[in-house]
Protein backbone atom coordinates (compact mmCIF):
# COMPACT_ATOMS: atom_id res chain seq x y z
CA UNK A 1 0.00 0.00 0.00
CA UNK A 2 1.10 3.50 -0.75
CA UNK A 3 0.06 6.35 1.58
CA UNK A 4 0.02 9.80 -0.02
CA UNK A 5 -1.61 13.21 0.35
CA UNK A 6 -5.09 13.36 -1.15
CA UNK A 7 -5.61 15.24 -4.41
CA UNK A 8 -8.76 16.92 -5.69
CA UNK A 9 -9.35 14.06 -8.12
CA UNK A 10 -9.59 11.68 -5.11
CA UNK A 11 -12.73 13.37 -3.78
CA UNK A 12 -15.26 10.99 -5.35
CA UNK A 13 -13.28 7.90 -4.30
CA UNK A 14 -13.03 9.22 -0.72
CA UNK A 15 -16.76 9.97 -0.61
CA UNK A 16 -17.50 6.47 -1.94
CA UNK A 17 -15.35 4.96 0.84
CA UNK A 18 -17.22 7.01 3.43
CA UNK A 19 -20.60 5.87 2.09
CA UNK A 20 -19.41 2.23 2.03
CA UNK A 21 -18.27 2.60 5.65
CA UNK A 22 -21.48 4.38 6.70
CA UNK A 23 -19.59 7.54 7.67
CA UNK A 24 -20.72 11.14 7.07
CA UNK A 25 -19.67 12.54 3.70
CA UNK A 26 -21.98 15.55 3.29
CA UNK A 27 -19.41 18.14 4.32
CA UNK A 28 -16.32 16.56 2.74
CA UNK A 29 -15.23 18.77 -0.16
CA UNK A 30 -12.16 19.46 -2.28
CA UNK A 31 -10.95 22.26 0.02
CA UNK A 32 -10.75 19.82 2.95
CA UNK A 33 -8.48 17.44 1.06
CA UNK A 34 -5.42 19.55 1.90
CA UNK A 35 -5.43 17.72 5.25
CA UNK A 36 -6.41 14.27 3.97
CA UNK A 37 -4.33 11.21 3.21
CA UNK A 38 -5.27 8.26 1.05
CA UNK A 39 -4.00 4.71 0.70
CA UNK A 40 -3.63 3.27 -2.78
CA UNK A 41 -3.45 -0.40 -3.64
CA UNK A 42 -0.95 -1.83 -6.16
CA UNK A 43 -3.26 -0.79 -9.02
CA UNK A 44 -3.46 2.83 -7.84
CA UNK A 45 -7.03 2.50 -6.54
CA UNK A 46 -7.90 4.51 -3.42
CA UNK A 47 -8.72 1.95 -0.71
CA UNK A 48 -8.37 4.06 2.44
CA UNK A 49 -8.72 7.61 3.69
CA UNK A 50 -8.20 9.72 6.78
CA UNK A 51 -8.31 13.46 7.35
CA UNK A 52 -7.91 16.27 9.80
CA UNK A 53 -10.23 19.21 10.31
CA UNK A 54 -8.13 21.83 12.10
CA UNK A 55 -9.15 24.36 14.72
CA UNK A 56 -5.90 26.00 15.75
CA UNK A 57 -3.97 23.55 17.94
CA UNK A 58 -7.00 21.22 18.06
CA UNK A 59 -8.08 18.94 15.22
CA UNK A 60 -10.96 16.61 14.51
CA UNK A 61 -9.88 13.27 13.09
CA UNK A 62 -12.10 12.66 10.09
CA UNK A 63 -13.08 10.00 7.66
CA UNK A 64 -10.90 7.04 8.62
CA UNK A 65 -12.36 4.59 6.14
CA UNK A 66 -11.05 1.40 4.57
CA UNK A 67 -12.55 -0.36 1.53
CA UNK A 68 -14.05 -3.79 2.28
CA UNK A 69 -11.46 -5.35 -0.03
CA UNK A 70 -8.56 -3.92 2.01
CA UNK A 71 -9.78 -4.62 5.55
CA UNK A 72 -7.90 -6.83 7.99
CA UNK A 73 -4.54 -5.65 6.65
CA UNK A 74 -3.84 -3.13 9.47
CA UNK A 75 -4.41 -0.30 7.00
CA UNK A 76 -6.55 1.62 9.50
CA UNK A 77 -3.69 1.53 12.00
CA UNK A 78 -1.21 2.70 9.35
CA UNK A 79 -3.43 5.57 8.18
CA UNK A 80 -4.13 6.64 11.76
CA UNK A 81 -0.39 6.73 12.54
CA UNK A 82 0.24 8.87 9.44
CA UNK A 83 -2.57 11.27 10.39
CA UNK A 84 -1.23 11.58 13.95
CA UNK A 85 2.28 12.29 12.61
CA UNK A 86 0.89 14.91 10.21
CA UNK A 87 -1.02 16.53 13.09
CA UNK A 88 2.04 16.59 15.40
CA UNK A 89 4.26 18.05 12.67
CA UNK A 90 1.81 20.90 12.14
CA UNK A 91 1.49 21.81 15.83
CA UNK A 92 -1.78 20.07 16.72
CA UNK A 93 -1.79 19.22 20.42
CA UNK A 94 -5.10 17.31 20.68
CA UNK A 95 -6.90 15.04 18.25
CA UNK A 96 -10.64 14.61 18.78
CA UNK A 97 -13.02 12.18 17.12
CA UNK A 98 -16.57 10.95 17.11
CA UNK A 99 -17.41 7.30 16.48
CA UNK A 100 -20.42 5.05 16.67
CA UNK A 101 -18.61 1.80 15.86
CA UNK A 102 -14.87 2.00 16.59
CA UNK A 103 -14.50 2.84 20.29
CA UNK A 104 -12.43 -0.29 20.91
CA UNK A 105 -10.09 0.39 17.98
CA UNK A 106 -9.42 3.98 19.02
CA UNK A 107 -9.16 3.05 22.69
CA UNK A 108 -6.35 0.61 21.83
CA UNK A 109 -4.61 3.48 20.00
CA UNK A 110 -4.54 5.75 23.05
CA UNK A 111 -7.79 7.68 22.63
CA UNK A 112 -9.86 8.23 25.75
CA UNK A 113 -13.57 8.89 26.18
CA UNK A 114 -14.41 12.54 26.81
CA UNK A 115 -17.69 14.14 27.86
CA UNK A 116 -19.08 16.27 25.02
CA UNK A 117 -19.13 19.39 27.19
CA UNK A 118 -15.31 19.12 27.56
CA UNK A 119 -14.66 19.30 23.80
CA UNK A 120 -12.65 22.24 22.47
CA UNK A 121 -14.88 25.08 21.24
CA UNK A 122 -13.70 24.98 17.62
CA UNK A 123 -14.27 21.24 17.38
CA UNK A 124 -17.77 21.64 18.83
CA UNK A 125 -18.58 24.13 16.07
CA UNK A 126 -17.66 21.72 13.27
CA UNK A 127 -20.45 20.47 11.03
CA UNK A 128 -19.57 16.88 11.88
CA UNK A 129 -19.83 17.52 15.63
CA UNK A 130 -22.82 19.85 15.60
CA UNK A 131 -24.93 18.34 12.81
CA UNK A 132 -23.77 15.12 11.16
CA UNK A 133 -22.83 12.70 13.94
CA UNK A 134 -25.54 11.53 16.31
CA UNK A 135 -25.43 12.63 19.93
CA UNK A 136 -25.03 8.95 20.80
CA UNK A 137 -21.60 8.86 19.10
CA UNK A 138 -18.68 8.37 21.47
CA UNK A 139 -16.43 11.40 21.78
CA UNK A 140 -12.73 10.64 22.21
CA UNK A 141 -9.47 12.59 22.52
CA UNK A 142 -5.77 11.89 22.29
CA UNK A 143 -3.13 14.37 23.44
CA UNK A 144 -0.22 14.44 21.01
Taking only the tens place, the pLDDT of each residue in 19-39 is 999 888 888 999 999 999 999
**What confidence tier does 131 reach under pLDDT thresholds 50, 70, 90?**
confident
pLDDT of residue 101: 86
| The pLDDT of residue 126 | 86
Relative to beta strand 138-143, strand 58-66 is: unpaired
What total number of domains does the chain contain?
1
CA-to-CA distance for 51 and 6, rounded, in angstroms? 9
pLDDT at 134 > cutoff 80? no
Q: Return the H-helix or E-strand segment holding 123.
A: helix 121-124
For position 84, what pLDDT does the model report? Answer: 97
CATH code where residue 6 lies: 3.40.630.30
- 57 in Cβ contact with 121 (< 8 Å): no
Range in 36-45, 79-88, 109-118, 123-132 the model is least confident about: 123-132
The DSSP secondary structure of 25-38, one letter per residue, reads -TT--GGGGGGEEE
- pLDDT recorded at residue 95: 97
pLDDT band with cut points at 50, 70 and 90 for residue 103: very high
What pLDDT band is residue 3 in, cutting at 50, 70 and 90?
very high
For 72, residues 6+ apart whose C-beta sits below 8 A from its C-beta are: none
Cα angle value 38/55/84 (rounded, 5°): 40
C-alpha to C-alpha distance for 22 and 143, rounded to whole angstroms: 27
pLDDT tens for residues 43-68? Answer: 999 999 999 999 999 999 999 999 98
What angle is formed at CA 35 by the lines to CA 99 and CA 31, rounded to 5 degrees?
105
* Residue-number span of the structural domain to which 48 is assigned: 2-143
Q: Is 117 left (phi over 0), alpha (psi -120 to 50) or beta?
A: alpha
Amino acid sequence: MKIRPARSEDLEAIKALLVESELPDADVNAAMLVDFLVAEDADGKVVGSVGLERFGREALLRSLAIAQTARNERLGTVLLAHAESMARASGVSNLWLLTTTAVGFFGRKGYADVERDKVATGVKSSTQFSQLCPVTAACMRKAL
